[in-house]
Amino acid sequence: MDRFEYADSKLSPGEIENVEERGVKLYDGDHKTSFERGDVVVTSHRLLWGQAGDIAQGLTCLSLSLKLIVFVEEESSSGFGFSKSKKVVLHLTEAPKDKNLGPVIKSLYDYVKLSFKEGLREDFVQILQDNIQKKRWEQNPVQPQSQVGVQNRTIKLRTGIVGIERSIQEKHKATDKSISAAFQDLSKLMTMAKDMVQLSKNISDKIRLKHGCYGSGLWLIEGLAPS
């Protein structure tokens, strides 16, 4: 399993799809893995395994370069009839040092098995062997991506960045408006508070004035009273 690597399932220019099977489980040597009931696609350059529907959508999948496969064989049935699935064994050469990241860093086995739960078409093994023997990847080398494609992706990337920047600017504007409105409300509140304080002061002054007048009148009345 350490020969598999994560890769884009989209076919590169010059790469041709040959055959597809569904409901395939991967074995690392004789040991079962968690990669169950996936789709397998054989191209002129690679063997791809992905969860159901992922390869068709061009999503990331497991990729095994055909040049790493030494030979292919169908595993003989045990004869007990407990398993109806057919298995294909891929014997592999050593993993290249420059291999991309994959599901397994180091495997103890130099072969993997494909278990076909939904049956195996008769020409699957023949197509795979034919690609390996004739080295189809050398006959149809992958072409470098065109400058136009690179420019288109660059434009899309820049457009995306501009969109993000605009979104951030809009959020800043909305925040500034909210802060400005809050300050306006605070200013109004402070003005109202000052008015209330002034009103309270006026009322307090009037009360003191009335109290002073009342006290003076009482004093005068007491002064005029007979002794």
How is the chain split among helix, strand and coil, in percent rounded to 5?
Answer: 40, 25, 35
Q: Does 80 score more than 80 pLDDT?
A: no
22 or 195, which is more confident: 22
pLDDT tens per residue, range 82-130:
556 899 999 999 988 888 999 999 999 999 999 998 888 889 999 999 9
pLDDT in the model for residue 210: 67
pLDDT in the model for residue 219: 45
Cα distance between residue 177 and residue 193, in whole Å: 24
pLDDT in the model for residue 204: 77
pLDDT in the model for residue 177: 74
pLDDT tens per residue, range 143-194:
654 544 555 555 555 555 565 566 667 766 777 777 777 667 777 777 877 7
Cα distance between residue 53 and residue 20, in whole Å: 12
Beta bridge partners, 91, equal 71, 111
Cα distance between residue 149 and residue 49, in whole Å: 26
pLDDT in the model for residue 203: 80
Q: State which H helix or E strand residue 129 sits in.
A: helix 124-133
* CA-wise closest residue to 3 among 39, 37, 36, 49: 49
Instruction: Count CB neighbours of 67 within 10 A.
Output: 15
Q: Does 220 score more than 50 pLDDT?
A: no
